[in-house]
Amino acid sequence: MTRRIFHLVFLIPFLQGTEGFLFFTSGPRLEKYNVDKSGISVSGISSGAAMATQIHVIYSKNIMGVGMIAGPPFACSGGNVALSATCMTLPQAVSASALELTTESGATVGNIDATSNMADDKVYIYDGKSDSVVNPGIGRVNQAFYEHFVHDRNDVKVVLDINSEHCMPTINYGGTCDQPATPTYLCNCNYSAAFDLLNHIYGGNLKMPSRQVQANGQLLKFSQSDFFYVSTPGMYSMDTTGYIYVPSGCQDKSTKCRLHVAFHGCAMGQSKIGEAYVRHGGYNEVGELNNIIILYPQAKASTVPFNVAGCWDWWGYTGALFATNSGFQPTAIKRMIDRVAGL
């Protein structure tokens, strides 16, 4: 019943134009860069993985690849926080075919882009063998969902054989790989998920950073407030500050660079763990060697809407349209992407 209710809400066409709305800036302005518009991708850990698949599915016309690390399938919660627990712990109770139907129906009424856009996309799915938060079997549900839409199954890479806890696996930073990774949720697994997913998404020929590679580009703060509707800024449950890593080769804007959006997980935003994720998640070093700009949107904890852990919205705390092209967080993030890429 819960999933049926969400299915109906998901189908309601909802037009939310920007005309008549003003945005406001609080801090440095996010700049436009010389971006290859065919090379925009997303990824995330935990709730960030949920947001990554939402952005990919909602805006598949513009997003060509997605990486999911320990996250639930698209639209799995049905907009119900109680059901979200099932989406993390009981893969046998989650129907990939039902989620596929919901997705196709949403595309039919225009709440997401046409699913045909995903046919040639690259997908990376990771779940740790020791994950005590998200059952590794959820990775197989994500795999089944994406293999329904992606024509070549070789374009869907699944990694389920690393003995990691619920964390962002890195090559050499963070806690013990198979132990709880608080407070940063970064773990030293002698494996860089950031490199593996980016390398898969971008064709398999990226330069791999050594342990000594330095990210000598610019890690810049920018105003996320610039992308909120001024009438409802609190509804986003997003920080006023976001981050962007601009590789050395992309700074003068003469070189065409690719763009990747990396979403942190619950309790991993800068308001919780400072700059640990944006500096040590492994993305910047890969970006530096391969001219990939890394955009780091930031969620934050809030009481209204109720989001005490600073998660990205994948169960509807910002409203019933959270997983559509009218949702608060997706539209803000899309505006960031559009700004950086000049879409």
Among residues 7, 166, 200, 264, the one annotated as catalytic is 166
Catalytic residue among 127, 131, 155, 239: 131
Per-residue confidence band for 24, with pLDDT thresholds at 50, 70 and 90:
low
Examine the residue annotation and report whether 260 is marked as an active-site residue of this protein. Answer: no
Helix%, strand%, coil% for the chain, nearest 5:
35, 20, 50
Mean pLDDT of 186-209: 97
Q: Look up residue 9 and give its DSSP letter.
A: H
Specify whether the CB–CB gap between 32 and 338 falls below 8 A: no
pLDDT over 90, % of the chain: 87
The dihedrals phi and psi of 233, each to the nearest 5 degrees, come to -65, -30
User: Is the CB of residue 284 less than 8 Å from the CB of residue 243?
Assistant: no
**Burial (0-12, 13-18, 19+ Cβ within 10 Å), 228:** buried
Q: pLDDT at position 220, please?
A: 98
131 in catalytic set: yes
Query: pLDDT tens, 267-292?
Result: 999 999 999 999 999 999 999 999 99
Q: What is the pTM of this model?
A: 0.93
Active site residue 46: yes
Residue 15 has pLDDT above 90, yes or no: no
Q: Which of 41, 43, 46, 223 is an active site residue?
A: 46
Q: Which of 221, 170, 161, 196 is nearest to 43 (CA)?
A: 196
Q: Kindly list the domain boundaries of the chain, sorted by start residue.
A: 21-341
Question: Omega into 305 within 30° of 0, i.e. cis?
Answer: yes
pLDDT single digits (tens) 39-83: 999 999 999 999 999 999 999 999 999 999 999 999 999 999 989
